[in-house]
Amino acid sequence: MSKVKDAAKVAAVAAEQVGFGIDIGGSGIKGAPVHLRTGELLTKRFRLPTPAESSPDAVGAVLADVVAHFELPSIAHIGVTFPGIIKNGVSHSAANVDRRWIDTDVAAVTRRWTGHTAYVANDADAAGYAEVAYGAAKGKKGTVLVITLGTGIGSAMIHDGHLVPNFELGHLELDGFDAETRAASSVKEEEGLTYEQWAVRLQRYFSHVEFLFSPDLFVVGGGVSKDHEKFLPLLDLKTPIVPAKLRNKAGIVGAAALAAEHA
């Protein structure tokens, strides 16, 4: 779709219902305008590769290119996901990106390079929030735990629609191991586990998390969630467990929604 057609599609939606999200990942940086009422992307995502040297300035330059592709109004607020612990816009860790991001104000970097005010959230938090606002847990009261099974294990807690930030459950110690080194989907692939064998490890993990937090719903995301029929029915839990719906657009959607909420 051309930039002209993209702009026309965005312009057709009331300005107050349009948000913009950017998802920073270890391999790619992608963004899109989001319909804040429905959670739908208003255009196709625009993606650029994450620089090999993913320093703040190198990533900032890519953020500028992503934003420029959409010709946003100067007053537009944007939401940004980042793979690290985020407190008040500052990263206190850095997963799969340059360690120079640690103790760096991600919101300030975004503003300097794009000219837009930004709200920054941990990537798993943004994806989890999106599932509650628009996806598999929409309208669910109580405590929702969104668990992403991928290279590692990402997690987000949302209680009565409110995000509890930086709720890290991938690094729980379980049976003497870091949980994600036993139960992440990447481990399934690396060790050649069948879904039945992997489900034994997932059972141990989810049972432990269930005991600790007594959630009202588990939502399972990550690329492997498309095969949820092969492993979720094998789990024996008291808590309902369902696959995520938004998948690879969850970060963008959640970032946009959180930015609008905190504007």
Residue 131 lies in a domain: no
Which domain range does residue 76 map to? Answer: 3-126+249-261
Is 109 found in the same domain as 23?
yes
Residue 77 lies in a domain: yes
The residue type of 194 is T
Q: How many Cα atoms sit within 13 Å of 167 on the Cβ side?
A: 23
Is 107 found in the same domain as 12?
yes
- The more confident residue out of 135 and 75 is 135
Residue 132 lies in a domain: no
Query: Residue range 49-77: average pLDDT?
Result: 93
Residue 61 lies in a domain: yes
Query: Residue range 78-106: average pLDDT?
Result: 95
CB-based burial label for 5 (10 Å; 0-12, 13-18, 19+): exposed
Is 254 found in the same domain as 230?
no
Looking at the predicted structure, is the pLDDT value of residue 7 above 80?
no
Is 164 found in the same domain as 99?
no
Query: Residue range 168-195: average pLDDT?
Result: 96
Is 253 found in the same domain as 203?
no
Q: pLDDT tens digits for 113-167? A: 999 999 999 999 999 999 999 999 999 999 999 999 998 999 999 999 999 999 9
Is 163 found in the same domain as 103?
no
Q: How far apart are the C-alpha atoms of 128 and 165, rounded to whole Å?
A: 10
Is 191 found in the same domain as 122?
no
Looking at the structure of the chain, the number of domains it has is 2
- The more confident residue out of 8 and 256 is 256
Is 99 found in the same domain as 86?
yes
The residue behind tokens 């965005």 is 10
From the DSSP assignment, how many helices (H) and strands (E) are in the chain? 8, 15
Is 153 found in the same domain as 94?
no
Residue 192 lies in a domain: yes
Given 3-state DSSP classes, what are the helix, strand and coil percentages for the chain, each rounded to the nearest 5? Answer: 40, 25, 35
CATH of the domain at 20: 3.30.420.40
Per DSSP, the residues of 100-143 read GGTTEEHHHHHHHHHSS-EEEEEHHHHHHHHHHHTSTTTT--SE
Query: Residue range 205-211: average pLDDT?
Result: 98
The residue behind tokens 């399934």 is 188
Query: Residue range 46-54: average pLDDT?
Result: 96
Looking at the predicted structure, is the pLDDT value of residue 1 above 60?
no
Query: Residue range 176-186: average pLDDT?
Result: 96
Residue 37 lies in a domain: yes
Where do the DSSP E strands lie in the chain? 18-24, 28-35, 46-49, 78-82, 86-87, 90-91, 104-105, 118-122, 143-149, 153-159, 162-164, 173-174, 177-178, 217-221, 241-243
Is 155 found in the same domain as 92?
no
Residue 133 lies in a domain: no
Residue 114 lies in a domain: yes
Mean pLDDT of the chain: 94
Residue 128 has a pLDDT of: 97
- Residue 95 — very low, low, confident or very high, per pLDDT cuts 50/70/90? confident
Is 120 found in the same domain as 143?
no
Question: Percentage of residues in the chain with pLDDT exceeding 90?
Answer: 87
- Residue 9 — very low, low, confident or very high, per pLDDT cuts 50/70/90? low
Residue 77 has a pLDDT of: 84
pTM recorded for the entire structure: 0.92
Closest Cα partner for 224 from 205, 204, 206, 198? 198
Looking at the predicted structure, is the pLDDT value of residue 5 above 80?
no
- Residue 6 — very low, low, confident or very high, per pLDDT cuts 50/70/90? low
- Residue 208 — very low, low, confident or very high, per pLDDT cuts 50/70/90? very high
Query: Residue range 199-222: average pLDDT?
Result: 98
Query: Residue range 197-213: average pLDDT?
Result: 98
Looking at the predicted structure, is the pLDDT value of residue 88 above 80?
yes
Is 226 found in the same domain as 254?
no
Q: How far apart are the C-alpha atoms of 203 and 66, rounded to whole Å?
A: 40
Residue 3 has a pLDDT of: 64
